[in-house]
Structure 1
Amino acid sequence: MDSEIKVPEFDLDTDPYNVPIQVKADRTDAIVGEYAEFNGNVIFVQGNSRIAADSARVNQQDESLEAAGNLTFQSELFTVTADSLSANVSTNQATLRQADYWLNGKQIHGHANELKVTDESDLILTNTNFTTCPTDEPDWLLEASKIEIDSSEEWGKIWGAKLRLFDVPVFYMPYMTIPVSEQRKSGFLFPKFSTSTTNGVEAAVPYYWNIAPSYDATITPHIMSARGLFMKGEFRYLAGDSQSGQVNLEYLGDDKKLANSPDRYLYHFEHQGRITEEWRVLANYTDVSDNNYFNDLDSAVSRATDNQLIRVGEVSYFQPNWNFAAKVQDIKVLGEDEIPYQVMPQLTYQYAMPNLGFGADFDFYSELTNFSHKESQYNTATRLHLEPTFSVPYQTPSGSLLGEIKLLQTFYQQQDPNGQLDDSVSRTIPQVRLNGKVNLERQTEWFDSSYRQTLEPQVQYLYVGYEDQSQIGIYDTGILYEDYYGLFRDRRFSGLDRIADANQVTLGLTSRWFDADNVEAAKVSIGQIQYLDNSQVSLTSDLPELTASRSALAGDFDFRLTQDWYLSSALMYNTDAGEVVRGQGTLDFRPSQNKLFQLNYRYVPDIADEVDISQAGVRTAWPITDNLHFVGNFYYDMKLKRSVETYAGFQYEACCWAIRLSYHHYLKTNYEDNNAPPVDPRETFEQGIYLNFVIKGLGGEGPLGISDMLNEGLFNYRRPLYLKN
C-alpha cells in the first residue's frame, strides 16, 4: 500500500541542512527507534534533495540510509543515477557507487566508480570521467583518478587527467582545474598554432590569471621560429562599478628577422568611466618601438592596417544645460614623416538654451586650445574660438524648416620660428543657413507590386562670410569626406583653421518605397551644390580656389531586391568633366544568419600622388554541412592587376569542440624601419596557415565564431545598410 512517514527531525539551529525528510513508498516495515524499511517506488525528499529507489533502509540509531535499485539522486547542482547509495541523514553526506552524473544546467556529464557528496554539497569522484558531448560515444573524454568539484567556487580539481580524442589518448596532466560555471579561474587557455612566410612556425599559449574579482591578467608566450620569443601581457581592472581600464605590455627581444636583431616592444594604457554622476574621465596611450611593429607582429592592441596611435586624456563635467571638458592629445603616425600637432591642452565649454522664445534655440560653443610641436622648426599657437548660434527649427509630418545664424569668432596667438605668420590674428565670420524639406507620399506600382512612395525634396542655402586666412597656420584642419550627406554640411574643412566662404544652394532629393508590410524596399538620394560665388579659401596656398559652378553630383542608393538580396552603392560624379570622382558598391546575398555572399567594388581616382584605387572583391560565408563552415574572401587590384588579399578558412564545430584551419595571403604595408637598420628586401606579400582548436567545457577563450572570421584580414566585412522597417 502507499504509505508516508517522517523520520526524526534534527536541530535546525545547529545545522541548516537538517530538515525533516518526507518518505513515500508502496510498502513500509518499521520498528520505532530502530529501523524503517521501504520497498516499491521509494521517494525521499529533504529540502531541495530527492532520492528515488526500489528499496531503502533507514537506521534510526546511527542515522544512516541505504538505498538501491533504479536509484536516482537529485539536488540543486546535479543529478546522479547509481547502483546503490549510502548516506548519513544528519550530516547530508552520501556515497553512490557506479554512478552516472549530470551537472544541472550544464553539458558536463560523466561516470564514476564512486561519487561522494559532502555536507557542503561538494562532489568527490573516484576513477571517473566526464565530457560535454551528449552522445554515448563522445568525441572527447577526460578521464581522471580523482575529481573534486567545489559547489561554492564552481570549479573542479582534477588529478591524473588523461584527455582522449575519438578514444585516442592525446594529453596527460597530473593536476589541473576546469570551470563548471562562468566563474573565472587561473589557468592555461588553449594554444594557437600557425605558420607564415615572415614569422615561421608560431605557437602561442595564453595563461589567464584571476588575481581578484576586480583584477585579472593574461600572459601569452608567443614563440616564432623566425623571430624568437614574443611575450604579451594584458592586465584588466575595474575601479568600482563605473570605471574600467587595461594595460598591455608586449616585448620581443633580439628579433632575428631584422638586421642587428633589435628589441621590439609595445605599451598601452586605457581607462574610462564615471567618477560621479557629473564627472567623466577618459585616457588612452599607446607607443611602439618601430613603424612596422603592427605589420610584423600579432599585437593584441591594434591591427596591421592601423597606422595612427592616438594618445588622449580627457576629463569632462556635465550639467543639464552645459558641459565642460579638458583634453590633451598627441598623435603618432607610423611610417610618415609628418608629425601632427599636440593639443596641450584644449578646454571646451558648451551651453544650450532650448525654447528661448518665439520657437528659437540658443547654443554656445567655445574652446581654448594650445597647439605645441615636438620639432622646434614648426610654428605653435594658442587658439580661442567662440561660436554663438541662434536657430529656429520648425517640424511637422509634412516637412521641416530650419533657420540658423552663427557668428564664428576666432583669435590666434602664434609663434612662427620662420617669421612667415602673424603673431596675432583675429577672425570674425558670419554664417547663415536655411534648410527646408518637404515630405510627399503616393501609392504606386513597381514590378506588379503595390508600394507607398515618398518624395522628399530638400533645399539648403548657406552663406559663410569671407576673410583672408593665409596668416593662420594649419594645426588640426583637413578636407572633409564628400558624399550625399556631406552636401548639407556647413563646412568644407574639419577643424577651425580654415573656414571656407560660401554662397551656395544645395538641392537634394530622396525617394523611398515601402511595401504592403511597411518595410522599406528601396531608397534613392541624389543631390548637388550650386555655387553662387567662387570660394576663395583653400586649405593651403598651393591649392587652387574653388571656381566650379557646381559640385559633383552625389548619389546614395539602397535596394532590397528580394527578401535576401541587397544592393547598396554611393557615387560622386563630376558633371562638368564627365568623370566619376568616387564610387563604391556592394551586392549582398544573405538568406540566413550564417549564409553570406557579397560582391563589392570601390573606385577612388588620384587618392595620393596620382594613384587610383580600383579594387573588386568577393566575400562569402557558407555552411558546407551542419557542422562544417567555409569563409573566404578575395580582393583584386584592377589597376595593378594583382591580388591584394586572399583568405580561406574552414571551421568544423561539433556540440562539444571546434577547430578552424585557415589560409591567408595578403599585401603587407611596409614602412621604413626606424630605430633599426633597413631590411632589404621586405616581403611584399605575407602568407600563412593558422590552426585554432577549442574543447568546450575545458575553459579557453570561448568558442570559435563565423563573425570573427569575416573580420580577419585587411578588409573587414561591411554589413550592408539594411533598410528601415
Structure 2
Amino acid sequence: MPRFLSKPCPSSFSRLWLGVLCLCAPAVLRAQTAGPPAPDAEELRLKPVRTLGAHAKPDAKPAMVLSAKRLSSQVDQQASAEGEAELRYGELLLRAQRLSYDQTEDLARASGDVQISHSGNRFRGPELQLYVSRFEGEFLDPSYFFSQTGGGGRAKRVSFLDAKHVQAEQGNYTSCPIVADQEPAWQIMASKLDMDFENNQGVATDAVLRFQGVPILAAPTLSFPLGSGRKSGWLPPKIGLDNRSGFEFGLPYYWNIAPQRDATLTPFIMTKRGVGLDSEFRYLEPEHKGQINLDLLPTDRVADRSRWALHLMNDGQLLRDWQYRVRAERVSDDDYWKDLPDRVQSQTERLLIADLQLNRRRELSWGELQAYGRIQQWQALQGLDPSVQFQTPYQRTPQLGLRLTTAADEAVLAGYSPWGRSARLEGAVEVEYNRFDLSPDALVEQLQTGQRVHLLGHVSAPMGGPGWWLIPRVAVNAAAYALDRPQLDGRTSMNRTIPTFSIDNGWIFERDTQLLGRELRQTLEPRLLFVNTPYRRQDSPNFDSAPKDFNFDSIYTDNLFNGIDRVSDARQLTAGAISRWINPQKGEEVLRLGLVQRYLFRDQQITADGVPQTQRFSDLLLLGATHLTERWWADGTLQYNSETGRSERTVLRARYSPGPFRTVSAAYRLARGQSEQVELAWQWPLFGQGPLPGQPRAAANAGGSTCSGAWYSAGRVQYSLRDKRFTDSVVGFEYDAGCWVLRTGIERLSTGRAETNTRLMLQLELVGLSQLGSNALKVLRDNIPGYRQLSADRSASLEAPYD
C-alpha cells in the first residue's frame, strides 16, 4: 500500500490530503501505484460535492472519494480514516473524526462530530451507521436541517430509509436555531416524524405545536407539506375581527382531489352573525380550467336572512377551435359588500358581472378572421339610499360579431418607429349586432332598450425609417338602431355614418450628454396627430360609450369616447414631445420630461358633458419622472388650464427607499371639483436589530430564541382634504424575531360618507411552517408601495454553507 506524504504547513497542524481513493474502481488505485503521472496527464483534483457527478451518465455509478489526516486501506475490502475524515459519494458528503468503510457490505461507520450533507439536507450527531449507495442507516441523537422546508430540529434517533424518506424518533421540528439546553421559540414536538420528500409530505405522530413554551395546537397526527407542492390536510386557522361581524374563526381543509383538481372547505363562525362555510373548487383539465367559489352563511343573526356569494371563473376550448370564457359573480343582497367585503372578488365591489364569451380565430395568409359572441349581465348593489345609487350599464343579450384584420405591424399601429419598414396598406373591419337590455337593478329613470348594428373599419398606410414614422389613416363608424321606446320626436329607428381622417407623425432624436456629472443619452421625441372628423347628429341612446380619461395616451387618439354610440367631431392638431435621459450602460431611464396640448380649428359639438367646446387650446398636460439616485423615485402629471391659470388635475408622487425594509412614499392627488387627497405610506424599522437580507439562516434565526428581534411599522394613510376626513387606510406593526414574525394592525375601509368597516389584523408567521391568523401580509403588500416581506430572504437554499 503506498504512502502519501505532504509538506507541513506553518499552522499548528497540517492537513494531509490522501488523493483519490476510488473504492468502487480499483484500477484507478493501481494506476496511482505505478508511478508519477505523465507530464501531460490531467491533474486529479477534488471538486465540491455539488459538482461531483453533475455530468455523469444517468446509469453511471458515482466515484467515492475518501480523505483524512491518517488513512489505511485494503483494496476491495475496507478503509479506515482518522482525523478530519471526509467521504464523498455523489450528492453525499460525510465528515467525522473517525470513519471506517466496509466495501463488501457498502457500510460506513462514523463517530465523533459526525456531519452529513445529502441533497441539501444536513445532519449532525455523535454516531452513524450508513449503507452508502442505498442511503440506509441510523444516526444517534442528531440535529438536522431540511433544505426544502428551511427547518430542522433534534431527535433521539434518525433512520434513513432511503434518499427520499427519513424517520425521526422523539424529535422536534422548527425553523429556529437549535441551541443546547434552550427551547426554540416555536416547535412541533412528536413521538415520530416521517419526512417523505418524494411525496412532499411530513407527518408528525402525537404532535404538539408549541410557541414560546405554550402548547397552541395538539393532534394525534399532524401533516404538513415539505415544499411548494400540494397535499390534503387542515390548513392554519383564519382569524379576523371587525366592527360589523365581530370575531371570526375559520379552519380550512385542503383536499388534493387529483393532480388537476383540488378544493378548500372552510367552516367558520362569526360571533355576531353565526356559522357558515366558504368553499373553493379548482380544476385544470387539458381543454378546460377554472375556479368556483361558494360562500354560505345560512342564518345571519344581524341581517336576519340567509347570505351567500358565488364566483365563477372558467376558460376552455369547445369543438372546432371555439374558445369560451366565463366570469360571473353574484351575492345575496345589496349590503353584502359592506358586511362581508373579503368575500367579494370584483374590482368594482358594487357592480358584479356575469359574462359569457365565445370566440374563434382563424389565421389567414393575409391576416386574421375572428367570430365572437357574448352575453353580459350585471348585478348592481344599489342599497336604499337614493344619494348613493347609480346608473347601471346596459346588458348585452346577446352580442354577435365578425372581425377581419390584416397582418399588421403592431409596433407601427401602436405608434412606435417601424425600423427600416416599407409602407403598405393595413386595416380592419368589424361588424357587430347587440341587443341592449336593462339590469333588474337599474334606476327607474332608465327606460330605453333596443338593438344596434354597427360597422367599424379603417385602412392605413404606415411608413417610416430608423428615427421616424408617418401613418395616414381613414376610419369609419356606422351604426343603425331599432329602439323599444320612441324618442321624443317619435322615432324608433335611426342610423348615422361618421368618417375620420388622421395623420400620425413622430420622430426620435438622440444625443450623448451629461447630467449632474453622469454620462447619459438624451432623446427628443416630438409627435403630431392631425384628426378631421365631421359633425354628425348623434341623438341615439348611449348604450356603451363613455368619455376617455384625459391623459398622455388618450390625447393621441381620434375620439374622445370609448364605445360605439358617441364619436367626437374634430378638426384638431395634437402636438407634444417627450425627452428622456437614459443610462446607456444599464438602459435605465434616469429622467423623463414631457408636454402635450391639443388645438381645435373649430368648435366641437359632441363632448363629454354635452356643452360645445369653444376653447381653441385644450388643457396643457405635463409629466415628469426621475430616478436620479438608487434611493429616490419621483413622478408627476399636471393638467393645467391656461384660461383659469390653475391646475385641473394633479398627481404627484415620491418614494424614498434607502435600504431593505425601509421605504417611505407620499402622494398628492387633485381632481378639481371632485376630490383632493394626500397619502402617506411606509415600511420602516422602529428599534431592535432584525435579520439582514442574505444573512446566513442560522444567524438570521438567532432572534427566535433570544428575543432580540426588531420592530417595524408599516402602513398607508389617506386623507381627503375635500371632506376633511381619513378614508381607506391601514396601519400595522411587525415584530421580526428571526424564525417567527408577528403582524398586527388596523384596516379602515370606507363604505359610504358616514360608514366605515374597521378590521383588526393579527397574524403569526412561523417561518418555514405556516402563517396563522388573518391575512395581514396580503393587506400590507397590496397597500404599501415597495413593501417587502420581512422573512422573504430567509428561504432555504441548496447553496447554503454547511456548518
TM-score, normalized by length of structure 1?
0.83
The one-character-per-residue Cα deviations of 1:420-440 (angstroms, maximum 9, x if unpaired) are 663332211211011222334
Match of 2:433 among 368, 373, 397: 368
Cα distance in 2 between the residues matched to 1:669 and 1:643: 12
The one-character-per-residue Cα deviations of 1:593-642 (angstroms, maximum 9, x if unpaired) are 53321221112234xxxxx3111121112233435432122221212222
- Give the corresponding residue for 1:214: 260
Cα distance in 1 between the residues matched to 2:641 and 2:73: 100
Q: 1:74-93 to 2 correspondence within 5 Å?
A: 75-76=118-119, 78-85=121-128, 93=136
Cα distance in 2 between the residues matched to 1:628 and 1:562: 27
Instruction: Tell me which amino acid in the other structure corresponds to 2:616.
Output: S
Greater strand proportion = 1
Q: CA deviation at 1:525?
A: 2.4
Instruction: Tell me which amino acid in the other structure corresponds to 1:530.
Output: Y
- Give the corresponding residue for 1:13: none
SS of match in other structure, 1:295: helix
Q: CA deviation at 1:69?
A: 4.5
Q: CA deviation at 1:248?
A: 0.6
Cα distance in 1 between the residues matched to 2:310 and 2:503: 49
Contact 1:56 1:68 in 2 (8 A): no
- Give the corresponding residue for 1:12: none
Instruction: Tell me which amino acid in the other structure corresponds to 2:275.
Output: L
Q: 1:20-39 to 2 correspondence within 5 Å?
A: 38=80
Q: 1:10-409 to 2 correspondence within 5 Å?
A: 38=80, 40=82, 54=98, 56=100, 68-72=111-115, 75-76=118-119, 78-85=121-128, 93-118=136-161, 122-136=165-179, 137=182, 138-240=184-286, 243-258=288-303, 261-273=304-316, 279-302=322-345, 306-320=349-363, 321-324=367-370, 325-335=372-382, 336=389, 338-354=391-407, 359-374=424-439, 378-409=447-478
Cα distance in 2 between the residues matched to 1:49 and 1:525: 60
Cα distance in 2 between the residues matched to 1:273 and 1:288: 25
Distance 1:491 1:21, change over 3 A: closer
SS of match in other structure, 2:555: helix
The one-character-per-residue Cα deviations of 1:121-174 (angstroms, maximum 9, x if unpaired) are 522221111222235253222221112222431312111212233344443322
- Give the corresponding residue for 1:685: 756
2:657 aligned with 1:574: no
Match of 1:630 among 713, 719, 722: 713
Cα distance in 1 between the residues matched to 2:268 and 2:727: 27
SS of match in other structure, 1:185: coil
The one-character-per-residue Cα deviations of 1:2-51 (angstroms, maximum 9, x if unpaired) are 8979799xxxxxxx99999999996779999xx97956467777776676
Comparing 485-494 with 409-418, which one deviates more in the overlay?
409-418
SS of match in other structure, 1:506: strand
- Give the corresponding residue for 1:619: 681
Cα distance in 2 between the residues matched to 1:330 and 1:90: 64
The number of equivalent residue pairs is 684
Instruction: Tell me which amino acid in the other structure corresponds to 2:437.
Output: S
Contact 2:352 2:380 in 1 (8 A): yes
Distance 1:344 1:156, change over 3 A: same
Contact 1:191 1:692 in 2 (8 A): no
Q: CA deviation at 1:403?
A: 0.7
* Aligned alpha-carbon RMSD (Å): 4.0
Distance 1:628 1:318, change over 3 A: farther
Q: CA deviation at 1:655?
A: 3.8
Distance 1:332 1:593, change over 3 A: farther
Q: 1:462-611 to 2 correspondence within 5 Å?
A: 462-470=531-539, 472-514=540-582, 519-538=588-607, 543-560=610-627, 562-592=629-659, 594-606=661-673
Cα distance in 1 between the residues matched to 2:163 and 2:137: 11
Task: Give the percent of matched residue pairs that are identical in Structure 1 and Structure 2.
Answer: 25
Comparing 229-238 with 346-355, which one deviates more in the overlay?
346-355
Instruction: Tell me which amino acid in the other structure corresponds to 1:112.
Output: A
Contact 1:189 1:701 in 2 (8 A): no
The one-character-per-residue Cα deviations of 1:323-349 (angstroms, maximum 9, x if unpaired) are 422222123232235332211222333
Cα distance in 2 between the residues matched to 1:467 and 1:647: 50
Cα distance in 2 between the residues matched to 1:557 and 1:30: 78
Cα distance in 2 between the residues matched to 1:7 and 1:439: 68
SS of match in other structure, 1:546: coil
2:466 aligned with 1:413: no
Instruction: Tell me which amino acid in the other structure corresponds to 1:631.
Output: A
SS of match in other structure, 1:319: strand
Match of 1:457 among 526, 548, 552: 526
Match of 1:650 among 711, 721, 733: 733
Contact 2:401 2:432 in 1 (8 A): yes
For structure 1, the residue ranges without an aligned partner over 5 or more in a row are 9-15, 607-611, 671-682, 720-725
Greater helix proportion = 2
Contact 1:466 1:501 in 2 (8 A): yes
Instruction: Tell me which amino acid in the other structure corresponds to 1:363.
Output: A
Distance 1:235 1:358, change over 3 A: closer
- Give the corresponding residue for 2:798: none
SS of match in other structure, 1:156: strand
Distance 1:685 1:352, change over 3 A: closer
